[in-house]
Amino acid sequence: MLSGKRLLLIIGGGIAAYKVLELIRRLRDRGVDVRCVLTEAGAQFVTPLAVAALSENKVYQALFSLTDESEMGHIRLSREADVVLVAPATANLMAKMAAGIADDLATTALLATDKPVLIAPSMNLFMWQHAATQANLATLKARGITVIGPAAGNLACGEVGSGRLVDVPDLISALEEAFLANTPLPSLVGKRAIVTSGPTHEPIDPVRYIANRSSGKQGHAIAGALAAAGMRVTLISGPTQEPTPAGVKLQAVESAQQMLNAVEAALPADLFIGAAAVADWRMASAVDQKLKKGDGGPPALHLTENPDILKTVAHHAKRPALVVGFAAETENLLEHATAKRLRKGCDWILANDVSPSTGTFGGDYTSLSLVTAAGIAPWPHATKAEAARRLTHAIATYFSTLRDA
Ligand code: C5P
């Protein structure tokens, strides 16, 4: 996923710069082209030689270097990357960025770039908490700069608190997200998808129903990402507040039975994604009149099982080539998801931790793992829109390998 991506890494002057050497090494292992700008202060903590050796590239230090300007000026340096990362981002670098000061190569490149910029702050706790730094942080965030960390813990200065550079794996996850967001979606033109989304409402009587907390955010985001990649998408959704994504054909339903009917009517398709939180049960028999309060006490609700839409599609005569389900679990997530993939007969399961503490239900963020026959791939914590893009990439890769096979 990272192979061939180009990173401009600006190394600021902080003790945590040593961690960046490890970052460069890990990124090179994964095929990232790393170009480094070492600030004057940064060079007090790590040597240009170490940075050049690990990045296998020339290290850029001086703004007014004749050879650099002829070979690779600061404008090109800042534009030829896919993403720019400042790590460690010192209070001084953040202040200069916020003010638009360009008095060395690093700050000039940051002002000249047209690429996404990430900063990983690292500094003393009081410097981090200072109103000036916090105001600069707010300015940078408002300009769309992604801030990674800082983490809390023991600081090199001997104090304890927020100010540590995040660990290398966290820097890599954040970079993966940034590279992905900046990669054009692969084309899935000509293929058809059916996506279910939202909750279902199972009527108890004409005025009451059984529902769940699904917002439809994930299913709608997936439908939108697939349509953006050129697929013809039918989105079959229970009641939600989510706007219909551009280019998607929406079919609104209420109950599980209606959802199943709509899905079967929409087949055949190349891809089915069951992102709906389908109610497991419905009333055993329809109640035509509103249930009344009476002397007999509360009514007993006799329930019966709903059809399993995902399982039905996975075993259908018109089974799509790729059938994807979700497993929302609160415990033993991956174990349950792996078993569910086999039980349902689907190809992929997206395992989703929905413990209340995660805020996944109704929230904008999610932590998914992709469970396939080949194994389990944990995905970074990300917005549901980013997860939808990541899924679209995986789907496009899957169809392209089918085509090549
Ligand atoms: O069995 P469980 O509800 O945990 O399975 C979740 C997956 O199955 C989701 O992809 C959901 O959309 C799908 N599902 C379905 N029909 C049901 C129940 C779940 O399509 N009746």
Residue of 285 and 262 predicted with greater confidence: 262
Ligand 1, atom nearest to 344 Cα: 8
Q: pLDDT per residue over 97-112, tens digit each?
A: 999 999 999 999 999 9
Tell me if 6-181 shares its fold with 192-283+302-404: yes
Task: Report whether 11 contacts 87 (CB < 8 A).
Answer: yes
Q: Does position 351 have pLDDT exceeding 90, yes or no?
A: yes
Cβ-Cβ contacts under 8 Å for 1 (sequence gap 6 or more): 176, 179, 180, 393
Ranges 120-134, 261-275, 320-334, 359-373: which has the least confidence:
359-373
Cα–Cα dist 194/152, whole Å: 44
Q: Looking at the domain that runs over 6-181, which CATH code has it been given?
A: 3.40.50.1950
**Average pLDDT of the residues in 235-260:** 97
Task: Report whether 188 contacts 396 (CB < 8 A).
Answer: yes
Q: Does position 70 have pLDDT exceeding 60, yes or no?
A: no
Residue ranges with strand state E in 165-278: 192-197, 202-203, 209-210, 232-237, 248-252, 271-274
Query: Looking at residue 159, what is its pLDDT?
Result: 80
Cβ-Cβ contacts under 8 Å for 343 (sequence gap 6 or more): 311
User: Percent of the chain having pLDDT more than 90?
Assistant: 76
Fold observed for domain 192-283+302-404: Rossmann fold (3.40.50)
Residues framing ligand 1 (Cβ under 6 A):
196, 256, 274-276, 278, 306, 308-310, 325-327
Q: Does position 115 have pLDDT exceeding 70, yes or no?
A: yes
DSSP lists the bridge partners of residue 325 as 274, 349
The structural domains of the chain, with segments of one domain joined by +, span 6-181, 192-283+302-404
User: What tokens does 93 get?
Assistant: 């670098």
CA of 260 to the centre of ligand 1 (A): 11
Ligand 1, atom nearest to 310 Cα: 20
